[in-house]
Amino acid sequence: MVFNGCSANEEVTLEVLNPMGAIMPPETLGLAHRISDLAGKKIALMHNNKPGVTNLYVVLEELLKQEYPGITPAREYQAGSVTQEREDMYQKVAAECDAFIFAIGD
């Protein structure tokens, strides 16, 4: 039965409204095509300004240079923290780099 204030021992069904907000899903996009090899490529090493990422990138840069001749790991492309993102920097990476690594330091 639907609850209507009847006896406390009768089965009760509560019909309630959904509290969640409707979401219009954004268009889902595909990823960019991968590169076949890292040798000779320029790779942007980016992060969100959190501690420790620069240490990680020191090691990654070493490893990339060891494994891939002619590779250019580039740490000068920083877009800032999540509250200070810079679209111009993304455009610069797209124009000048072949791939990117983005470390979320949180």
Partner 1 sequence: MQMEKLGVPGVLLVSSSFPADAKSAAADYTMPGIRMVTIPSDKWYRYRGTVEEVRPLAEAAFDSIVDALTTPLIPEEAEPPQKAAAELPPISITGANYSDAVEKLNESFLENQMGDGLPLVPPTREAVDRMLQGTSRSPEEVIGKVPMKFGIATIEKIAVNSVMAGAKPEYFPVIIAAMEAFSAGEFWHMMGSSGGFTLIIMVNGPIAKEINMNSGIGFLGDCWRANSTIGRAVRLATRNLGHTWPAVNDMALVGRPSPHIFYTFAENEEMSPWEPFHVSLGYEKQDSTVTVSKVGSYIGTVGQKVGGGAVATWTEQSILDAMAELATGRGSGYWTWFHPEAAQGLSGMGFSTRKDVQAWFAKKTGGPAENFSVAVTGGVPGYSMIWSYARNAHVTKKIHGATLTKAGR
* Interacting residues with partner 1 (CB under 8 A): 3, 7-38, 43-44, 51-53, 55-56, 58-60, 63, 67, 82-83, 87, 90-91, 93-94, 97-106
Q: Is 40 left (phi over 0), alpha (psi -120 to 50) or beta?
A: left
Contacts of 51 (CB under 8 A, 6+ apart): 105
CB-wise, 27 or 69, nearer to partner 1?
27
Separation of alpha carbons 90 and 59, rounded Å: 24
Min CB(8)–partner 1 separation in Å: 5
Q: How far is the CB of 96 from partner 1 (least distance, A)?
A: 10
